Amino acid sequence: MNTNRLSKKIEEILNFQVTKEAEAAQIYLSYGCWADSEGYGGIANFLFRHCQEERDHMMKVMQYIMERGGTVQIKAIKAPPANPKNLQECFEKTFKHEVDNTNAIYDIVNLAHEEKDWATYNFAQWFVKEQIEEEKLVMELLDKLKIAGGPNASNESLLTLDTQLGKEPDSAPLARDASMENPE
């Protein structure tokens, strides 16, 4: 008896998302290493915490596939992109990665809607809400950098920003603590 409650296409797109979240984690990991090598220990810490959050997203999708009787496929992940040139580029690239991930979530929502797979549709809504938070988080990073002087930021203001971000444990809450109603 076949107990797989996911269609082939849904199973495929969810497995694609597992890989995508793993890739997102690697990007945060590599940007964190870059930030640390540039002397931004606080920002590195912030990016490392967020790496963990992306891993939690990956686990969440994996668990859903398994719960629905599907088969998880762990695939090779792409190497992270080249290091950013400066903090502005680091945050801008991070924002682009988040928007790209949001679009991948929307693809899941669209397919689930098309197939009338309401369980997957409902599951994906958590991610829709989560991505609003994720995009907001990076927008705030860009705002903070802008206030610090953007490309002309002084070392002193960058040091303040770095210290501040290193101390912000609540700005990157762990996905495992979140619920559908409260993705934060």
> Which residues of the shown chain bind Fe ion in the complex (CB under 5 A)?
21, 54, 57, 134
Task: Please report how close the Cβ of residue 51 comes to Fe ion at its closest, in angstroms.
Answer: 10
Long-range CB contacts for residues 83-88, cutoff 8 Å, separation at least 24: 83/30, 83/31, 83/34, 84/31, 84/34, 86/151, 87/35, 87/40, 87/43, 87/145, 87/153, 87/158, 88/145, 88/150, 88/151
Q: Which is nearer to Fe ion, 21 or 162 (CB)?
A: 21
Annotated binding-site residue? 131: yes
Annotated binding-site residue? 125: no
Residue sitting closest to Fe ion (CB):
57
Q: Which is nearer to Fe ion, 134 or 162 (CB)?
A: 134
Q: Measuring CA to CA, which residue among 32, 114, 44, 28 is closest to residue 77?
A: 28
Q: Measuring CA to CA, which residue among 183, 164, 161 is closest to residue 173?
A: 183
Q: Which is nearer to Fe ion, 100 or 156 (CB)?
A: 100
Q: Alpha-carbon distance 34 to 90, whole Å?
A: 9
Look up residue 39 and give its DSSP letter.
T
Q: Which is nearer to Fe ion, 104 or 159 (CB)?
A: 104
Task: Please report how close the Cβ of residue 108 comes to Fe ion at its closest, in angstroms.
Answer: 12
Task: Please report how close the Cβ of residue 24 comes to Fe ion at its closest, in angstroms.
Answer: 5
Which segments are annotated as binding site? 21, 54, 57, 98, 131
Which segments are annotated as binding site for Fe cation? 21, 54, 57, 98, 131
